[in-house]
Amino acid sequence: MMLRTPAEPSPRLASREIGLAIFGGALALGLLVGALDARQPGVRGETLATIALAITYVAGIVALVHAWLRQHPRTRALGDFLALPPDQFEAAVGDLLSESGYAHMRRVGGSGDLAADLVCQDASGRTVVVQCKRYAPERRVGSQAIQTFIGMVAVHHRAHRGVFVTTSEFTTPAIELAREHGITLIDGPALVALAQGVASGGTYQQLGEEAYAPA
């Protein structure tokens, strides 16, 4: 199985909103300054007000960008993923899968999530449940975890597919069990490859044969 990014990936909605906010704010400020200069050039009070407005606007944009980056961290190395708290790790995985063709991504992880951290749809419109495990590299995911995930995907969530993502690796029995039941596995190296492929502009084609089981 292969995960593909669009040939020309569309920018994130948040990126467009930030861009439009910056452009619109800059245009409004330009028009305001021009109007003030045309009406009463050199009026100190209005000039100071314009400067204050500009500072407030810039501060607001900086805060907006900072908040968005915190919610959507850009990660390219394994250490980046390991440094994230669980909720941001799930958000980062969701962003990467969204840019790889998965749609309607929702983060549902938390206490009592029943092996579902993310829920989305694949290119065929099938419901997909994603489990995210931010494990140290030496802590491998075994067949018991995959067996539990398989049961939750099919019985509880009634999803069509399951994707198990980890920063570590999977044991051989876990990989064999996942292949038998059509579970997609993404280990640490595959996750980093996906992040680097997305960062390169959507030219990345596949993550690695060892990371996948047939859907």
Which pLDDT band, with edges at 50, 70 and 90, does 45 fall under? low
Single-letter residue type at 85 = P
**CA–CA gap between residue 158 and residue 103 (Å, rounded):** 18
**CA–CA gap between residue 117 and residue 144 (Å, rounded):** 18
Q: Are residues 106 and 132 in the same domain?
A: yes
Q: Are residues 65 and 91 in the same domain?
A: no
Tokens representing residue 105 in the block: 């991504």
- Predicted TM-score (pTM) of the model is 0.62
**CA–CA gap between residue 166 and residue 169 (Å, rounded):** 7
Residue 6: inside a domain:
no
Helix (H, G, I), strand (E, B) or coil at 9: coil
Does 200 score more than 90 pLDDT? no
Residue 5: inside a domain:
no
Q: For the chain, how many structural domains are there in total? A: 2
Q: Are residues 110 and 200 in the same domain?
A: yes
Give the per-residue pLDDT at 208: 33
Tokens representing residue 173 in the block: 């029995």
